[in-house]
Chain A
Amino acid sequence: MNRQLHETAAVFLLRFTTYAIVGVVGYILLDIIRHGLPVINWAFLSEMPRRAGSEGGILPAIVGTLYLTLGTVAIALPVGIGTAIYLSEYAAPGRLTETIRLAITTLAGVPSIVFGLFGLGLFVLFCQFGPSLLAGSLTLACMVLPTIIVTSEESLRAVPQAFRQASLALGATKWEAIRTAVLPYSVSGIITGAILGIGRAAGETAPILLTVAAFFLPKLPGSIFDQVMALPYHLYILATQHPDTDKVLPLQYGTAFVLLAMVLGLSLGAILIRVHFRRKYKW
């Protein structure tokens, strides 16, 4: 009888913790949708901000975040996949490889403000890119690299060894075997890494604070050496730096809503691509 009670209690507790997560996410989403959605209209999405963001739209922040995210993925994906291929297919097991892996894991644990300062030092000042889309994307790319490397490597390892052997036995070089008999079958996993990277790159504030983000810049970027506004930074400004934060509260909600929608939209696109490849290659 007592044991049965314990069983029931355990199930209840485990279920509660699981549902609690859903509850928290649901609350945040609902709150943002409830307060944010009424603010959204075409003017808000398509107009320049006025009076330091107190009025007008958030177009430059939307465009800025979009460019930053795409720039980050464009830089981090090739580098990350390249590293993952090297580690999974070429690197001989040993102390050096272990050190490289340790470095990647450590990189994943570095706080984002440290990436920001690193980007400031290396890309903005040393490389003389200035605060710019380029410097910001490079900084964000450094930050999301570990995620992309680790997920890509896992998906490469998940491809059966038999595919590599079949290809090599037919006279393929190692690179041909990787390119034609391994990479195509790991695309869905690699895209998963990219999705996670996109989510982080779009939402982070600290790394772009010192490398690209503009406080108030009511124009669209003309080159990769321009500064941009970005949604998370704009939200931070409205919420903490604005002289009358209560008055701009609806704008904060609107900005949060747009940021959330953009990340979900980008992820959804990537998920659709992943589903497509999962269907195409099954074994």
Chain B
Amino acid sequence: MVKNDTPTGPTAIEVRNLAFHYGASQALFDINIAIPARQVTALIGPSGCGKSTFLRTLNRMNDIIPGVRVEGDILIDNENIYRDKIDVVRLRKRVGMVFQKSNPFPKSIFENVAYGPRIHGMNDKGQLGEIVEQSLRQAALWDEVKDRLGNNAVGLSGGQQQRLCIARALAVQPEILLMDEPASALDPKSTARVEDLIDELKTKYTIVIVTHNMQQAARVSDWTAFFYEGRLVEYGRTKRVFTNPKEKQTEDYITGRFG
């Protein structure tokens, strides 16, 4: 169960009694967590513990898998995102996502970033240009690509591609950014850049990041949630969770006894 230090500032995402099923098998059990606004929350735990599934419940990306079932409530801005009337398109505009493997479209750098604004009806060239520049600046990629915005994004390095995907997500001006092991496929230098970026982004965005890397969780996050076998075992300030875990399972995991 949740052991708090409960966040005191404004809450961005409030999850109550969340359960999740893939067909007959249950992946998440009774998750209760309040994710604070404009801070970084890391989700850690061994493979198959449900942390990625949980992340994907927050923007309903699990919906595209047939046969899934969700119980409980997730509130974002006091709106229950699993009520039937919710507009998933609007939700995903507010809750952006960056994937484990960078997935730029095989078109120009500019068009990649402009993709989101375009599908949401933005057609003004000047405004699009501004959004693209601003998003690339925020993703710390602008200086590297400003002279070749027309080049195919597939030609960028892995780290640049991932920052481009972050810029693409920022371009639709989300409030929340979900990151599913965003640096796991990157070399150490690129990883450091992405981590620095996360640190900058949290002044404006609520960030939820799944990571397999303990050091990374410790470095970038303010709050840490430890998942094990579909349950939220422990949740608290990162410093406290890593230095003084209350649960035996958490301690075993972060000290490397399993996982």
Which residues of A line the B interface, CB within 8 A? 92-93, 160, 162-173, 176, 180-181, 185, 281-283
Report Cα–Cα, A164/B154, bound state, in Å. Answer: 16
Which residues of B line the A interface, CB within 8 A? 59, 61, 64, 66, 89-93, 96-97, 99, 101, 103-107, 115-116, 119-120, 152, 154, 165, 168-169, 172
Report Cα–Cα, A106/B70, bound state, in Å. Answer: 40
Taking CB atoms, residues of chain B closer than 8 Å to A180 are 115, 119
- Whether the Cβ atoms of A281 and B169 lie closer than 8 Å is no
Q: Which 6 A-B pairs have the closest CB atoms?
A: A162-B103, A171-B93, A169-B97, A170-B116, A283-B106, A171-B92
Report Cα–Cα, A162/B104, bound state, in Å. Answer: 9
Report Cα–Cα, A173/B168, bound state, in Å. Answer: 17
The 19 listed contacts between A and B (C-beta, < 8 Å) are A92-B66, A162-B101, A162-B103, A165-B99, A167-B119, A169-B169, A170-B93, A170-B96, A170-B169, A171-B89, A171-B92, A173-B89, A176-B119, A180-B115, A181-B105, A281-B106, A282-B106, A282-B152, A283-B106
Q: Taking CB as reference atom, which chain A residue is nearest B87?
A: A171
Report Cα–Cα, A46/B93, bound state, in Å. Answer: 60
What's the minimum C-beta distance from A15 to chain B, rounded to whole angstroms? 38
Report Cα–Cα, A59/B37, bound state, in Å. Answer: 75
- Whether the Cβ atoms of B90 and A171 lie closer than 8 Å is yes
Taking CB atoms, residues of chain B closer than 8 Å to A172 are 89, 119
Residue in A160, A168, A176, A185 whose CB lies within 8 Å of B61: A168
- Whether the Cβ atoms of B107 and A281 lie closer than 8 Å is yes
- Whether the Cβ atoms of B64 and A168 lie closer than 8 Å is yes
Q: Taking CB as reference atom, which chain B residue is nearest A180?
A: B119
- Whether the Cβ atoms of A185 and B89 lie closer than 8 Å is no
Taking CB atoms, residues of chain A closer than 8 Å to B107 are 281
Report Cα–Cα, A49/B6, bound state, in Å. Answer: 91
Residue in B93, B103, B115 whose CB lies within 8 Å of A165: B103
Report Cα–Cα, A92/B64, bound state, in Å. Answer: 11
Q: Taking CB as reference atom, which chain A residue is nearest B103?
A: A162
- Whether the Cβ atoms of B106 and A169 lie closer than 8 Å is no
- Whether the Cβ atoms of A283 and B119 lie closer than 8 Å is no
Taking CB atoms, residues of chain A closer than 8 Å to B119 are 167, 170-172, 176, 180
Report Cα–Cα, A168/B168, bound state, in Å. Answer: 13
- Whether the Cβ atoms of B96 and A169 lie closer than 8 Å is yes
Taking CB atoms, residues of chain B closer than 8 Å to A164 are 64
Known: A281-B106, A283-B106. A166 touches B152 (CB 8 A): no
Residue in B66, B90, B105, B120 whose CB lies within 8 Å of A166: B105
- Whether the Cβ atoms of B66 and A170 lie closer than 8 Å is no
What's the minimum C-beta distance from A146 to chain B, rounded to whole angstroms? 26
What's the minimum C-beta distance from A238 to chain B, rounded to whole angstroms? 50
- Whether the Cβ atoms of B172 and A166 lie closer than 8 Å is no
What's the minimum C-beta distance from A193 to chain B, rounded to whole angstroms? 21
What's the minimum C-beta distance from B21 to chain A, rounded to whole angstroms? 17
